[in-house]
Amino acid sequence: MSTSLPATLDFTAHHPARTVLVTGASGYVGGRLVTELLAAGFQVRASSRKAASLRRFEWSDQVELVQADLGDAEDVARIMAGVDVVFYLVHSMGDKDQDFEEVEERTARTVAEVADAAGVRQLVYLSGLHPRDKKLAELSKHMRSRERVAQILLAAKTPTLVFRAATLIGSGSASFEIIRHLSERLPVMVAPQWISNRIEPLAIRDALYYLVAAADLGETVNRQFDIGCGQSYEFADLLRIYGRLNGLTRRVFSLPLPLPMDKLSGGWIGLVTPVPAGLAVPLAQSMAEDAVTEEHDIAEIIPDPPGGLIDYPAAVELAAKAAKGRGVPTSWDRSWTNVSDAADSLPTDPEWSGDSVYEDVRSGESDLPAVKVWEVIEGIGGVNGWYSAPSLWRIRGIMDRLFGGPGLGGRRDPRHLRVGDRVDWWRVVELDPPRRLVLAAEMKIDGRAWLIMEIKDRGEGCTYTQRALYAPNGVVGRLYWWAVAPFHFFIFPIMLRKILSAAERRNP
């Protein structure tokens, strides 16, 4: 079971007897919202298409876990039975197999119809922020879908409170990851004209405050409300401010070109950041319009958070602190749910199943106990890097992205791992702290590869062994191994030495 972030809001429910259903509870907002609803005193029912995906949360034994397909009316009726408030926090964006706009419309209609029949008191939906004078046909597909869902829910008999928010800033959010990686990886960036569009971001903490308060209202509400931090910025300024707060100097230029820059820039974001193109493209398309609040009427029914709304620089600092200090309990990255079957067949012997298996083995000694070295091993990858030639790792990651691989895709939590986690282009397939970590490669290669990191106590000190295994497919796979052999010869010894050195610096 993973460790989730503790509640960040000081909110006590006036109506704790209400049962609250959170759909999309395994998602970025939903997983965090459950924590806050429990802390406020509500009875919570958490829903996901796969109930098993919810068991990783620390709150999983404090809520009622339900599994449902929200497109199935019988499933929805089952999970809505006896519910007072329903949070609708699902979307199909990034699904390559379906048209997410059509799927979201059908699902919203099903949810609205069943909520009416079930006698739900209040629906709550988190939508996107765009100019109100824009017609549906003029909006990006992503924004059009969000607005269409909002209209369907508002037309239901069940009162619906719709929050219209722009970029959410918090550790693990897709928007924050895009801003962070673009700022850190590109000292100079030439971008489409939308880089000058104005955006009013919102700290995830404030978004959660509004959502929790919506479940506790004395009277039902059927209306849309704009929510934001109270100050708008050009998107380019979001990058510059992040850079300034992190000691980086960044230059951003707008480039007007008669090209489909929304799709091109979305694919480019998917290339240089961990956010996949299937998610980055619709997000980039939504940036084609300003996203600024046009009213603050929400204050009439939900007062501003105690201490006021969090501005963007403060939200960035909170997000960075959470990511580095406590880990990320929920994230845009849900690929951990699809662990490759191929990763289960780890060759433990170079003659395994008659296959050719190439191996690179490095070993080193430390005077530290195994548990101290393990702290470095478990934190490898992501923001912590690979302890050797970061520019070469970055180039390899970009090459992998160009060929359709995950690239340097980051990781869920910078300090802790569990089986199934992604670590850049690797997947955790075996975890035995503080002795053994096995990573299976998901990069685009002609074969299968593993990185095995083992620590053995020697009584006084320990031995750290690092093994890279590669089972090639055909001639191309074998050529690949010999082509990267110089890279391994240079990288892996440095990696081993720096891992041990990092452990020693932490434990002088």
How many structural domains compose the chain?
2
Residues 73, 213: one domain? Answer: yes
19-22 and 202-203 strand pairing: unpaired
Which of 299, 325, 351 is the last residue before a domain boundary?
325
How far is 56 from 461, CA to CA, in rounded Å?
33
Last residue of a domain, one of 325, 352, 376: 325
- 287, 379: one domain: no
| DSSP characters over 260-324 | -HHHHHHHHHHHHSSS-HHHHHHHHHHTTS-B--S--GGGGTSPPPTT-PPPHHHHHHHHHHHHH
Per the structure, the complete domain to which residue 78 belongs is given by 19-325
| Burial zone of 137 (CB within 10 Å; 0-12 exposed, 13-18 middle, 19+ buried) | exposed
**Final residue of a domain: which of 325, 358, 389?**
325
With respect to residue 11, please indicate whether it lies within any of the assigned structural domains: no
- Unique residue bearing structure tokens 């707060």: 245
Sign (positive or negative) of CA dihedral 318, 320, 323, 325: negative
On whether both 311 and 375 belong to a single domain, the answer is no
**Is 30 contained in some domain?**
yes
Helix 28-40, helix 204-214: angle, nearest 10 = 60
pTM of the model: 0.70
Half-sphere exposure of 289 (CA within 13 A, CB side): 22
Each residue's pLDDT tens digit, 296-335: 999 999 999 998 999 999 999 988 777 655 455 565 454 4
Render pLDDT for 376-387 as a digit per residue (tens, 0 to 9).
999 999 888 889
CATH number, position 205: 3.40.50.720
Measured from the Cβ of residue 340, the count of other Cβ atoms closer than 10 Å reads: 13
In this structure, what token pair is assigned to residue 81? 């039975």
Does one domain contain both 302 and 441?
A: no
Contact 90, 67 (CB under 8 A): no
CATH no. for residue 450? 3.30.530.20
Q: Using one digit for the tens of pLDDT, what is the confidence trace for 20-69?
A: 999 999 888 999 999 999 999 999 999 998 888 888 888 999 999 999 99
Domain assignment of residue 330, yes or no: no
Q: Look at residue 460 and give its three-state secondary structure.
A: coil
Specify the DSSP class assigned to residue 411: B
User: What's the mean pLDDT in 162-175?
Assistant: 89
Q: Are residues 74 and 174 in the same domain?
A: yes
User: Is 217 in the same domain as 255?
Assistant: yes
* Helix or strand run (H / E) with residue 484: helix 474-506
